[in-house]
Each structure stands twice: as structure tokens, then as C-alpha cells.
Structure 1
Amino acid sequence: MLSVVRVHLPSEIPIVGCEVTPYVLLRRPDGAVSTDDVPETAPADGQFMRYRWYRIQSDRKVPICSVHPMEQATIQCLGCLKSKIPVAKSYHCSAKCFSDAWQHHKVLHERASSAQNENGAEEEELCGSGGSGVLSTAGSGSLSNFGQSPSINNEPVPLYPSGTDKNSGETWYEVGRLRTYTPTAADIGHALKFECVAVDSEKRSPIGPPTSVMTSHVIPAPTPTPRRLIQVNGDVLGHLDLDSQTSSLGTFTVLSYNILADTYATSDAYSYCPTWALTWTYRRQNLLREIIGYHADIICLQEVQVNHFEDFFSPELDRHGYQALYKKRTTEVYSGNPMAIDGCATFFRRDKFSHVKKYEVEFNKAAQSLTDAIIPSAQKRLALNRLIKDNIALIAVLEAKFANHGAENPGKRQLLCVANTHINVHQDLKDVKLWEVHTLLKGLEKIAVSADIPMLVCGDFNSPPGSSPHALLAMGKVDQHHPDLAIDPLGILRPPSKLNHQLPLVSAYSAFARMVADSLTVDSLLELLDEESLRKDTALPSPGWSSDHIALLAEFRCKPRIRS
């Protein structure tokens, strides 16, 4: 007989827009225990599983704080209601919560005012003066006199007539008939119930009682204040002359983002972050929403797990017009689940670029060649243990579909080389980190020699300003007296004079994108998060920002090289 052994939820707190797939362990008619589904289309011995999701709607809906979704709201901003801002964003758990969030909250009012073309007097009425806002409150914590959200069209019909459960005052609405359910805005403030039962295919009747599990109240997805794209001048970034008379006929944006692989996003590592905000089902939707919102022409992601690239990012970004390239890390060191191996993924808009060529750099292979060349046989194992870190780089040569040639070069192809890497080396192994960066740059030099091509180097280098890898990238060489060079037990950095490259790179961010200065300029940069935003939830990751890194984006402008 088909039966349910155990059911539990990945997280007790459902979030709007993030699918919930319960863990269901089944015992099949042959006695085997498995999590594989038994659908009606493929029954087992005439039996299949039936699933139902219900919204449990009490007499009084529980409003949730828009800033602290784990807390019940006690006050509401009436300015939001007058501005027709989504009602979920108007709730706060305390006056202090509202006051602390005012600098971010008032942006919602300003945008609503701008969208509705309201005049200054109306704006003052809605927002108040001095950042106080307009509040409705109930001292006891009751929100019965608060403005309620407008009724939602196509509300589900109650499964049972209202008043069936008179003791609890609850009404059950059937909202889903699949194993997976994605909460909607209509579910906010309500608990959900998942129910599963084995069904006889012929009789269409349940076999035994159903097994069910309840969730906590559904909360809205946090909505951090969007980051702005800020114009920059040439004096700030490598003394580039944005006012040059040279014609610039093409611009494009590049995003670099270490998204924090799920295998590293544990409660042990990030104990300050709510458990529900660390689940992959939540983080992937939040990351995708953020990434898509930047509308970048080229996207370079790091720490993308193999299964997440294949099952999520590649198909999702394909639907938004992106073509994907991927390179996973090598596995000499890693010994866990093969699908949990992370790597680098590069995406580009098909309407702006076409793929010309792909290069893959495996630093493990370079380490093997290096030890064969300079390390005595007796020390090779020790040397490889130090050098092999499974890091890689993904290099893509793209051809722009927008015109960027002057009268002197009619019809010339506009190529672009984009390198994407993650230099993940322990901070004590400064020699290994510098060697990997130097190896990558030497490989890029070979590409630059073979083609007259602008070059961008994106990624997570784990190298702050002042470190030797940063100096090599930004300055083209490492000072022979740099303190990092004192750590070189294998002699791989000798002589120090070899630590240079000929690529004319400048920095868009301290550790983000490098570019060939005489063919690309920087028009604008995505603003960084201020310390207040970062510390609002202690640190990153947080409910609003789903990685321990922040996304970096630059807008570049192509221009023909200036020839003397």
C-alpha cells in the first residue's frame, strides 16, 4: 500500500513569490522508501498521491511589519494608502521601526508622487514634514481600524462554508493542487496548510487519513531600496576623458556578482541571518529579481553551483534574453556532492552580443605545469598541496551587434573580451593568490596580442586595495619590496621583476572590472550600499540582500582607439 512516512517543510515561514516544496517521504507498495512522487499519471499498483494547499483565513488578518517581517505590525503609514503604495509596505511594528526606516521609506512616497505628477502641497500632506510621516496606530497593538487592502479579484472559493469551524473562526480556502505552491500577496498574514494523501485510482477515494503540516503566517518578500546608477567623470577613474571629441557610438553595462553558493550559506556561518532568508528557495528568487532588475548587458556571476546553473539561472535568464556560458571549479580538492560544486557563469544579451570564442583557465593545470618545471621531485607533492585550490577563470570573446566604427574603419568588427574569475584562496597563502592572478593576466596578454580587442576582467579577487594582487591588476606590476612577497616558500614569485603585465588596465571598482583604457571609458557606476543599509540587519547576507557580497555594475562606452 502507498503511504506517507514523513512530511516536513524546508522553512516554516513562507514568503510571497518563493515556491514552497515540502519534503514528502513515501513508502511504495513494494516496501521501498523514496521521496520520488507518485502522480496520477503514473500510479503505483493502482494508487497515487494527491496534494492540496489551503489558506487558513481567520476572522482577523494579521498585518506584518514591512521592515521586520517576523514581527506583527502595530502602526500603519496613512501616507502610503493615500499614495496608493501597496498596503503591505505601509505596516511597521513600532514607532521606532518607522522612524529608523524613514529615510528609505520616504523614497516610496517620492516615487509615488512623481508617478502621479502630484504637486508639492499634496506631497507635503502625504509625507508630512521633518520625516515624521502620517501614522495610524492602536495602542493595544490591534489593527482593526487600519485601512485594509482592496479586495482581490478571483478570490478562491472557500473549500468549506464560512463558519464551519465556529470554535476557531477559521475558513479554509483551497489555493493549490500541486506538491509545490508559491504564496501570493493574498496569502500575506495568513497561515497555510499542506495536505497529502494516497488515493485509490479506481475508487478515487483516499486510502487512510491525510497527513498535513502547517506553516507560519505568510510574509511579504523584503524590498530593499533600489540602488542608483551614478554618472562619474574621467578624473575619478583612471583619468579617462569622457568629454573626448572621439565619437562614442556604443554603450553597454557589465554586472559582477558573487551570489554566495548555497553550500556555504549555513546558519553556522551566518547565525545572525533568519533561517528562512538562507534557504535556497528564497535566495534564488531574491537574487534573480535583483539581477534582472539591473538590466545588465553582460552578467558575470561567481559561486554558481552546477545544479543551480543548469536548473535555474540558465533557463530563467534565457527567458529574459540571455545566452549562458559556464565553467565549474575543478575537483582535486573538493570531495562533496558533485552537483554542489560551484563555478563562474557569464551571461550576455543575445540582442547586443554574439559569442565568438570561449577560453577556460584551470589553475590546477597551471600548477601542475609549474611544479614540473621548477620544483624538485621530492617536493612536488608538498608544492601541489599548496598550489591546487580548484580555482578557474572563464574567458569569453564576444562580438557587439551595435555599431562602433568610424569612417577610417568601416565595417570593422567590435570585439570584446570578458574574463570572469573567483580567486578563492586562504588569506595566509598570499603567494598562491598572487600567482593565480599573474597567471590569468599572462593568459589575457596572449589574447590581446592576437587581436586588437578591449578587455574586461571581472570577478571576486578577495584582494583589498594595497594587496599585491590588487597592485598587479591596477598598476601593472608589484613593488619588489611589497610585504606580500616575503611569503614565497616555493619560489614561484621569483624574480619579483617578472610580476608585471602589459595590459593597460584601470579600475571601475577597487576589485571589480578592469578595462583597456584607450578603447573603453566608464560612463556610470552602480552606487555602493551605505553602512546604515548594510548594518540594518547586522551584516550580509540579510533578508533584503541574499549574498555576503554586493553586486557591482559599470556602464562602459566604446570608442575607437586613438592612434598617434
Structure 2
Amino acid sequence: MLDFWCPENYVNAEVAPVYPMGGAASRLYSTLTRSLSSPLPLPPSCPDPRRPADTNPDPDLCREQKTASPARPLDPAELLRQCEEALGDRAPRLHREFVRLGDGDGAPGSSVRVMQWNILAQALGEGLDSFVRCPPEAISWSRRKYLILEEILTYRPHILCLQEVDHYHDTFQPVLAGLGYGSHFCPKPWSPCLDVDGNNGPDGCALFYDRSRFELLDSVGLRLSAMRIPTNQVAVVTTLRCRTTGRCVRVAATHLKARAGWEWLRSAQGSDLLRQLQNVDPGSDAPLLICGDFNAVPTEEVYRRFAASPLGLDSACKKLGADGATEPEYTTWKIRPTGECRATLDYVWYSRDSLRVDGVLDVPTEEQIGPDRLPSFSYPSDHLSLVCDFSFEGTEE
């Protein structure tokens, strides 16, 4: 019988050598920028993540990136076309419907689009994750980078929360900066990517925001704790002001501990994140968006803690259910040596009294995903992206 229980089977890495952004990474970056036609500034070298987590890390990690956009901004439609062209004779994309909700009565163009996605760290996909039914060609970075960018460009989120990002400096930050996004990246203190030969540095959480829609007010990287003991999991918390409405919103991107048997740790990490969000600005009435791969099914304690939090949170993807109270059947579906894993682990939590859900991207069917599951030639990650449109409650348009 196939096992459908599957908080991710990652193991914390021991300290390993860091491979600087040179050699293969620089060649990759050059290839990417040539193929996308617009020259971009070379990214900084990846700092050593082994420095103590309680000291101030390299300023190019764990802080808002101030790098200017290229002199010639990238055109999203042209970039999407080039991604599709680079993929050539590819398998069809997963067709997904946007479910519009009756209570989404905001003015056209007023919604804020949020995307949550564990994109699958390249080092893990090629190394520790062991997707036994995924052809090696489908997991190659030369292909996946275009599929990931294609997914982002298709939905054009105003706020983008990513986990397992190990190509931040050489790919996502410069390319998305060219599209007008600001960003903040926080790596895991002991990333399992560092155990993989030829890795591109540590993976972590990254939060991007559309500068044309939002003004940055503040951004911090957090290391999550359990019973006051620092853990290997992190979060990025960014405060933004909407240029359209003048309203502020606090956005968190996080990735909780993986694997069965660690439910107590996920619960403690979730509680720590909720506590820190409450303490950031206790008097603030800014609504919250908390996006992440929680590695927890809806019956876990950490899910219940978020649902019952005094912060007044609800899960946006529950809107896909007929009763508005049921999560999707799955947000990840993969086959590993231990069996098949089909579960809901990813969530977009929002302040239910301050934000209104206008629409949610539905999940693809089993037939669309295919018998070999994810990742595949059609889709670059073992996790599905979650895309939700929100409006501020009580905003006069």
C-alpha cells in the first residue's frame, strides 16, 4: 500500500563546504542572462552560512536587496515568450482554473495577487529528494529555471513567497529585480543543500514584492525557535504599503521542519512565528498574510494553532471547498523510494477581518498531474503553487 503521509523527508545538514558563486554558478548565470537577452548585473558571491546565526550576517543575505533594476527593464510578456521558446517541444502545462468568489466585489485591478510556492531546491531535487519516477532530464536546472519563471510570469503576483530557494543570487533576485520586484532572502543556518556536491549554496525563504504596487516599510529575517532553542527553520517578515489604497500589510514567508515524527517541533516553530508576529508591532492594525510550506497536514497541531490564533487568521485555499471549510486534497504529490506522498502541506493564511479573498487558483486533477506525479516535464516542483487574490476590507476605491 502506498503511504500518503509525507512531511518532507529532509535531514538537517552537517556543516559542509560552501561553493562560492563562481564556476558552474557563474556559467549558469551567464547562460540564463544570454538566453533572456537583457543584461543584468552579476550577483554577489554567496556568503558563508556557517557564521553564527545570532551575529549580523553578510548584508547581501537576510536583508532587503537594494540593487537597482537594470537600465533596460525586462518586459514580462517578452520574458514569458522567451521561456516558452527555450522550453521548445515541451509537455503541456498543467491547466488550472481561477475560481472567482462571489464576495470579491472590489474594483477592477484593485486585488492584490499573492503566490506561495515551494519551488524545490535544485540541489535537493538532484540529490537528497530521490524522485524515483522523475526522469533526470526533467529535474535539470537548465530546464527547471524556465519552468519556474514561466509559472511566476503566468500569474504575475504582486507578492511572491518562495521556499527552498538555492538560486536566489544568480537567478531569481536579478531576473525579478529586472521585472520591478524588490526582495529579501533568508537562508537556513544549516541547509541540507550543502551536503550535495556542486551545490549553489544554502536554500532558504525569499519574499518578493512588486515595487510598482507596494512601498517597502520594513523587512526582517527570523530564525524560528522551539522552547527558546534556535532551530534550522527561518521566516522572512516584510511590511508593505499599498500604493493604490494606502493600506499596509505584513507578509511572512516560512518553511517549517519536515518529516514525520517532528510534529511537536513544527507546532513549536509555528507558535514562535505567531508570537513574533504579535510582538513586531502590537498596536498595528495592518492585516497579515502568512505563506509557507508548513510540512503539516490540516489535522496537525500547528494548523490548529494558526486557525485558533488571536491574530484572527483563516486559510485562503479553504475557499476552494464547497463548504468553505475544507483544504484542497493535496498541494504536493510525489513518489519517493518510501512510497507515494499525496498531502496538503502548503497554506496562505490571511487576516479574515481585514482582507477579502477574491479568487483562488484551483489545483490540477490527478489526470493532469499524470501517473509519475511531480516534479515532471510539465511542472518543475513537487509542490503546487498557491495563487490567491485579496482585497482590503473597507477600502473606498
- Shorter-chain TM-score above 0.5: yes
Name the counterpart of 2:125: 265
SS at match of 1:444: helix
Q: Is the 8 A contact 1:357 1:397 kept in 2?
A: yes
Matched, 1:514 2:334: no
Name the counterpart of 2:12: none
String of CA shifts for 1:184-210, please: whole Å, max 9, x gaps.
Answer: 97x9xxxxxxxxxxxxxxxxxxxxxxx
Over 3 Å counting, the alpha-carbon distance change for 1:389 and 1:515 in structure 2 is same
1:333 and 1:256 map into 2 onto residues whose CA distance is: 21
Opposite residue 296 of structure 1, the aligned amino acid is P
Pairwise CA distance, 1:396: 0.3
Q: Is the 8 A contact 2:194 2:202 kept in 1?
A: no
Q: Which moved more, 1:552-561 or 1:347-356?
A: 552-561
Matched, 1:505 2:319: no
Opposite residue 292 of structure 2, the aligned amino acid is G
SS at match of 1:271: coil
Q: Is the 8 A contact 1:18 1:285 kept in 2?
A: no
What's the TM-score once normalised by structure 1's chain length? 0.47
Q: Is the 8 A contact 1:519 1:561 kept in 2?
A: no
Name the counterpart of 1:113: none
Q: Is the 8 A contact 2:193 2:203 kept in 1?
A: no
Matched, 1:539 2:347: no
Q: Is the 8 A contact 2:118 2:162 kept in 1?
A: yes
Opposite residue 526 of structure 1, the aligned amino acid is L
Opposite residue 348 of structure 1, the aligned amino acid is Y
Over 3 Å counting, the alpha-carbon distance change for 1:310 and 1:250 in structure 2 is same
Give the one of 384, 392, 395 matched to 1:550. 384
Higher relative contact order (CA 8 A, sep 6+): 2
Name the counterpart of 2:28: none
SS at match of 2:174: helix
Instruction: Report 1:156-167 matches (<5 A).
Output: none
Aligned length: 290
Name the counterpart of 1:393: 235
Give the one of 444, 455, 469 matched to 2:277. 444
Q: Is the 8 A contact 1:272 1:538 kept in 2?
A: yes
Q: Is the 8 A contact 1:519 1:559 kept in 2?
A: yes
Opposite residue 259 of structure 1, the aligned amino acid is I
The CA RMSD measured in Å over matched residues stands at 3.2
Give the one of 244, 251, 255 matched to 1:422. 255
String of CA shifts for 1:380-435, please: whole Å, max 9, x gaps.
Answer: xxxxxxxx6410010000011002xxxxxxxxx41110000000232202111100
Opposite residue 421 of structure 1, the aligned amino acid is T
Q: Is the 8 A contact 2:84 2:150 kept in 1?
A: no
SS at match of 1:529: coil
Opposite residue 546 of structure 1, the aligned amino acid is P
Q: Is the 8 A contact 2:256 2:295 kept in 1?
A: yes
Name the counterpart of 2:244: 402
Give the one of 277, 280, 304 matched to 2:138. 277
Over 3 Å counting, the alpha-carbon distance change for 1:266 and 1:445 in structure 2 is same
Name the counterpart of 1:347: 208
Opposite residue 253 of structure 1, the aligned amino acid is R
Pairwise CA distance, 1:221: 2.6
Runs of 4+ in 1 over 3 A off after TM superposition: 17-20, 182-185, 246-250, 332-339
- Percent of aligned positions that are identical: 27
String of CA shifts for 1:288-312, please: whole Å, max 9, x gaps.
Answer: 111111111110010001xx10000
Over 3 Å counting, the alpha-carbon distance change for 1:353 and 1:448 in structure 2 is same
1:249 and 1:279 map into 2 onto residues whose CA distance is: 37
Opposite residue 275 of structure 1, the aligned amino acid is P
Opposite residue 399 of structure 1, the aligned amino acid is R
Pairwise CA distance, 1:248: 10
Pairwise CA distance, 1:228: 2.5
SS at match of 1:450: coil
Opposite residue 320 of structure 1, the aligned amino acid is L
String of CA shifts for 1:234-292, please: whole Å, max 9, x gaps.
Answer: 5xxxxxxx56xx99993210000000001111377112111111111111111111111
Give the one of 171, 180, 189 matched to 1:330. 189
2:265 and 2:170 map into 1 onto residues whose CA distance is: 33
Instruction: Report 1:449-488 matches (<5 A).
Output: 449-474=282-307, 476=308
Opposite residue 250 of structure 1, the aligned amino acid is S
Q: Is the 8 A contact 1:253 1:296 kept in 2?
A: yes
1:452 and 1:401 map into 2 onto residues whose CA distance is: 17
Q: Is the 8 A contact 1:256 1:301 kept in 2?
A: yes
1:270 and 1:333 map into 2 onto residues whose CA distance is: 16
Opposite residue 554 of structure 1, the aligned amino acid is C
Q: Is the 8 A contact 2:223 2:232 kept in 1?
A: yes
Give the one of 260, 265, 270 matched to 1:432. 265
Opposite residue 143 of structure 2, the aligned amino acid is Y
Q: Is the 8 A contact 2:124 2:193 kept in 1?
A: no
Opposite residue 529 of structure 1, the aligned amino acid is P
Pairwise CA distance, 1:318: 1.4
Q: Is the 8 A contact 2:192 2:202 kept in 1?
A: no
Name the counterpart of 1:316: 175
Name the counterpart of 2:19: none
Name the counterpart of 1:229: 98
Opposite residue 99 of structure 2, the aligned amino acid is I
Matched, 1:252 2:86: no
Instruction: Report 1:48-67 matches (<5 A).
Output: none
